[in-house]
Amino acid sequence: MSMASKPLLTLEDAQRISAAAGAEARANAWKVTVAVVDDGGHLLYLQRSHDTQFGTVDTAIMKAHAAVAFQRPTKASEEAVLSGRLIHLALPGVIPAEGGVPLLRDGTVIGGLGVSGVRSFQDGQIAQAGAAAL
């Protein structure tokens, strides 16, 4: 009998992802918080611009967590709510704002990335840049 195995997100992966997201934010002069969580939604790495509002910390973590929990970008919930499917607002852990993306390796969700601090679509742009580093 063999045990199943799966890929995992390392601290080095999280740092590389966060660095790429941070570079995208700095290139646009955006002040944000970047959170990387593991496949259980637990915080692995956090990066916050020194003068970003502290409310972005929890929001970035929640976006990353929601991306793992629902295995899709938080943009999907934002679009659902904007199109009138308000049931998404009642689902536990849903963040209906772009900026959270699942991190995949070989088709398996190994973690999530959340960004908060600027407009929703800008958070999403930064998150995509970070995820691309994986």
Residue 2 within a domain:
no
Residue 92 inside a domain? The answer is yes
- Provide the residue range defining the domain that includes 37: 11-132
Report yes or no on 42 lying in a domain: yes
Residue 58 lies in a domain: yes
Q: How many domains does the chain have?
A: 1
Residue 23 lies in a domain: yes
Joined together, the tokens standing for residue 106 give 């070989």
Q: What is the pLDDT of residues 102-130, one digit of tens each?
A: 999 999 999 999 999 999 999 999 999 99
* pLDDT recorded at residue 131: 98
* Residue 98 reports pLDDT greater than 90: yes
Average pLDDT, stretch 1-19?
Answer: 94
pTM over 0.85? The answer is yes
Whether residue 4 lies inside any domain: the answer is no
In a domain, residue 111? The reply is: yes
Residue 1: the pLDDT is 81
pLDDT given at position 71: 97
Burial 30-51 (b: 16+ CB within 10 A, else e): bebbbbbbbbebebbbbbbbee
- For residue 48, what are the contacts with CB-CB under 8 A and spacing of at least 6? 32, 33, 34, 54, 56, 57
- Residue 15: which CATH number? 3.30.450.150
Mean pLDDT of 28-48: 98
Residue 6 lies in a domain: no
Going by pLDDT thresholds of 50, 70 and 90, the confidence category of residue 85 is: very high
Angle at 113 between CA 37 and CA 48, to 5 degrees: 90
